[in-house]
Amino acid sequence: MTATVHGFQTQVTKLLDLLANSLYSNKEVFLRELISNASDAIDKLHFMSLTNSEILGDDATFKIRLKADREAGTLTISDNGIGMTLEEANQNLGTIAQSGTEEFMKQLTGDAAKDSQLIGQFGVGFYSSFIVADHVTVLSRSVNAPASEGVRWESDGSGTFESENIERAARGTEIILHLKESEREFLDDWTLRNTITKYSDHISTPVELWTERYEAPKSADNESEGENKEQDKEEEKKPVFEWQQVNDAKALWTRNPKDVTDEEYKEFFKHLAHEYRDPLTWAHNHIEGDLEYTSLLYIPSTAPWDLFNRLNEHGLKLYVQRVFIMDKAEAFLPNYLRFISGLVDTDALPLNVSRELLQDSAVTRKLKKALTKRALGMIEKLSKDPEQYATFVTQFGNVLKEGASEDYENRETILKLLRFASTKDNTPTCNVSLEDYIGRMQSGQDKIYYITADSFESASKSPYLERLRSKNIEVLLMWERVDEWMMSSVSEFSGKEFVPVNASDLKLGDLADKDEKEKEEQAVKDNEDLIKRFKEALGDKVSDVKVSSRLIDSPACVISEYGRQMYTQQMKRLLEASGQKMPEDRYVLELNPTNNLVQKAYGEADEGRFKQWAELILGQALLADQGSLKDPGEFVKTLNALLMG
């Protein structure tokens, strides 16, 4: 069979250009990526061998080997893992399956140091070979293929690669990097050793380096024997090589947490999560007793780009008795903790457990409960550090909110961990906890007031806040999509009821002093005629018109007839766009009779013109609430008519 030439997927070509030409700093990450691939390949085969021990044949000791050939200028990384068939090689090393690449490209900053670190995250690790090599040969043989179906894959990293079947005795994969002239340092024993320890110490498979062993010098006695001298010199020139294990090869999580350094935890995280940034924090626990397990959970410092795609795969790595079983096992943490990476290792599940089995196993449920508590505990601990916690809130605060509505059992704990913006400092920074809020309540206040809107601007400037502001009552400002959803299922925290500021009854209780109540009642009496006129003028455009008790400066506001709005406008638009028919909102118009505009309107004797004024005021209130109008043309016409006198 002759080799076939294939074109790389366009995305790959672009990526390769980038790797070869601009990502020079931290170029040694290619080793981390290739060793990590080798280790994955071994994990996969190890897993298969659990149910089929014969599959390993006489090659049952897993290892990853690195060999530098200084004369040829090549560095070879080999493993005796699962290997690849020709088809697999063409697919895996010629295309990028995930939509990840595009996102990778988008995230590139132009800063080579940062960009080179992004590589592992997007499933494009293999291509990092081309940072240091101008030609890459891959020899492989799948565990499922006979010796006649080995594979040769070659590319110089420009637009194409060629591949063919070859005869290959050994199972597994060999990556031969023909190093660029400028990258020959990677042939150097010291450099390789350092890089392996730095990036791959925690890999549980031994990583061996083909190393020159220096013989102890011959004894002086020998040297004095003149006739052997020539021969000795000959021998000195011939170095002796042997395989030497470089890494620790002890699974990090099996070690005593006391013996693991922060650096080791961080490096392990980078390997595990394909991340380059340090994690924010981690929690490593060995639990004994009823349900024995070891868990190592991490909170990254940055949200992945697809965090809000709830369908995206996520989850912990599962090990049973130290054996890798599966990636992204979702069953161990709830969806709202999907930003956590890590692993769980337990003896309580069978080695042949499948995803399906996991779903309805009692052990899984128990583990999930325990791990959820651990994860929340870790977040709580992090919350003691304001600076780090601010990062956490920015990155993951909105995901955690999903938990407040989904996880009834841990709701109180989760609510305690959330942070909000508030009218206290009126900035979009979310740094107010519910405990802070309660601690600052006015005397006589026993409700937690909040507003949900479509943006920080519209929340913080809402007319609904006027009255509460005048009483120095703090209001939590919410404008994220998830807020509305969360608040629809959360009713109280620490015994205090949540009240939206647009509720028809603000439940001010003792805060509405007696005087005020009387004034309000008086205002209703005094303005009976005004209200009646507006009601008649607006007809079925509103469900009612009332004297407002919440406005100080603004002329009017609208309150949904259900007491609170069912959906924010943003949510409504989304639902409508997805083809859902939304119920027609009907509003109560609340008027501020002391406002000049309202009085001016009321002073209009001509009923036709009064109707225009009333419609203008309603339109304004709707606009302030929703940022748009159903019939803007009509509103503009009315406005213009009034302006022209």
Cβ 43 to Mg ion shortest distance, Å: 12
CB of 85 to ligand ADP, least distance (A): 10
Q: At which residue do the structure tokens 């009823």 appear?
A: 290
User: How many angstroms separate the CA atoms of 504 and 547, rounded?
Assistant: 12
Give the integer Cα–Cα distance in Å for 65 and 174: 9
Q: Judged by CB, which is closer to Mg ion: 122, or 161?
A: 122
Say whether 27 sits in a helix, a strand or coil.
coil
41 binds, among Mg ion, ligand ADP, none (CB under 5 to 8 A by kind): ligand ADP
Interacting stretch for Mg ion, rule CB under 5 A, among 31-39, 55-63, 512-520, 534-542? 31-39
Closest alpha carbon to 270 in 306, 300, 315, 305: 300
Alpha-carbon distance of 296 to 403, in angstroms, equals: 21
Instruction: Give least dist CB 42 to ligand ADP, A.
Output: 8
d(CA 496, CA 434): 10
Query: In this chain, which residue has its C-beta nearest to ligand ADP?
Result: 125
**Which residue, 79 or 402, has its beta carbon nearer to ligand ADP?**
79
CB 174, min distance to ligand ADP, A: 8
Q: Which does 173 bind (CB under 5 to 8 A by kind): ligand ADP, Mg ion, none?
A: ligand ADP
Q: Are strands 74-79 and 172-179 parallel, antiparallel or unpaired?
A: antiparallel
3-state secondary structure of 179: strand
Provide, rounded to whole angstroms, the least separation between the CB of residue 464 and ligand ADP: 50
With beta carbons less than 8 A apart as the criterion, state whether 67 and 210 touch.
yes
Whichever of 126 and 293 has its CB closer to ligand ADP, that residue is 126
Strand partners, 74: 69, 178
For ligand ADP, the closer of residues 125 and 157 by Cβ is 125
Q: Binding pattern to Mg ion, positions 153-192, x when CB under 5 A?
A: ----------------------------------------
DSSP secondary structure of 119-140: GGGGT-GGGGHHHHEEEEEEEE
What SS3 state is found at 245?
strand
- The reply to whether 39 sits near Mg ion by the rule CB under 5 A is no
Q: Provide the phi-psi class of 358: left if phi over 0, else alpha when psi is between -120 and 50, else beta.
A: alpha
Least separation in angstroms between CB 175 and Mg ion: 12
User: C-alpha angle 620/626/628, rounded to 5°?
Assistant: 75
Residue 79 or 484: the one with the smaller Cβ distance to ligand ADP is: 79
- Specify the stretch interacting with Mg ion by CB under 5 A; choose among 122-130, 428-436, 566-574, 588-596: 122-130
Residue 81 partner contact from ligand ADP, Mg ion, none using kind-dependent CB cut-offs of 5 to 8 Å: ligand ADP
Smallest distance, Å, CB 126 to Mg ion? 6
Tell whether residue 101 is a contact of Mg ion (CB under 5 A). no
CB of 33 to Mg ion, least distance (A): 5
Q: What pairs with residue 298 in β-bridges?
A: 282, 341
Considering the complex, state which of residue 93 and residue 451 has its C-beta at the smaller distance from ligand ADP.
Answer: 93
Distance between CA atoms of residues 134 and 136, nearest Å: 7
Residues found near ligand ADP in the complex (CB under 6 A)? 33, 37-38, 41, 79, 81-84, 92-93, 123-126, 173
Closer of 121 and 372 to Mg ion (Cβ): 121
Query: Shortest Cβ distance from residue 125 to ligand ADP (Å)?
Result: 3
Q: Which is nearer to ligand ADP, 128 or 565 (CB)?
A: 128
Site size for Mg ion, by CB under 5 A? 2
92 binds, among Mg ion, ligand ADP, none (CB under 5 to 8 A by kind): ligand ADP
Number of Cβ atoms within 10 Å of the Cβ of 190? 8
What one-character-per-residue DSSP string does 57-75 give? TT--S--EEEEEETTTTEE
Residue 174: CB minimum distance to Mg ion, A: 16
Q: Nearer to ligand ADP by C-beta: 35 or 299?
A: 35
Nearer to ligand ADP, 125 or 555 (CB): 125
Nearer to ligand ADP, 208 or 585 (CB): 208
Rg of the chain in Å (alpha carbons): 34
Q: CA 445 to CA 497: how far, in whole Å?
A: 11
Q: Which is nearer to ligand ADP, 61 or 580 (CB)?
A: 61
Helix (H, G, I), strand (E, B) or coil at 30: helix
Q: How far is CA 74 from the centre of its chain?
A: 38
Q: Which residue is nearest to Mg ion (CB)?
A: 125
* 128 binding Mg ion? (CB under 5 A): no
Nearest Cα residue to 45 out of 83, 96, 98, 81: 81
Q: In Å, what is the CA distance from 489 to each residue of 186, 406, 430, 432, 503? A: 58, 8, 21, 20, 16
Q: Report the C-alpha gap between 340 and 294 in whole angstroms.
A: 16
- Read off the tokens for 613: 């004024």
Least distance from C-beta 156 to ligand ADP, angstroms?
18
CB of 125: closest distance to Mg ion in angstroms? 3
* Nearer residue to ligand ADP within complex by CB, 41 or 421: 41
Residue selected from 26, 37, 173, 372 as contacting Mg ion according to rule CB under 5 A: 37
d(CA 504, CA 501) in angstroms, rounded, equals: 8
121 binds Mg ion (CB under 5 A): no
Q: Tell me the sheet residues that pair with 341.
A: 298
Contact between 595 and Mg ion by CB under 5 A: the answer reads: no
- By a kind-dependent CB cut-off of 5 to 8 A, residue 23 interacts, out of Mg ion, ligand ADP, none, with none
Nearer of residues 38 and 486 to ligand ADP, judged by Cβ: 38
Longest dimension (CA), the chain: 131
3-29 burial: b if 16+ Cβ within 10 Å, else e: eeebebeebbeebbebbbeebeebbbb
Q: Which stretch binds Mg ion (CB under 5 A): 33-41, 395-403, 440-448, 535-543?
A: 33-41
Minimum CB distance to ligand ADP, residue 541 (Å): 58
Structure tokens at 626: 């929703």
Task: Report, in Å, the least distance between residue 263 CB and ligand ADP.
Answer: 24
CA distances from 515 to 288, 523, 550 (A): 64, 12, 15
Q: Tell me if 125 contacts Mg ion by CB under 5 A.
A: yes
Q: Which does 82 bind (CB under 5 to 8 A by kind): ligand ADP, Mg ion, none?
A: ligand ADP
Binding site for Mg ion (CB under 5 A): 37, 125
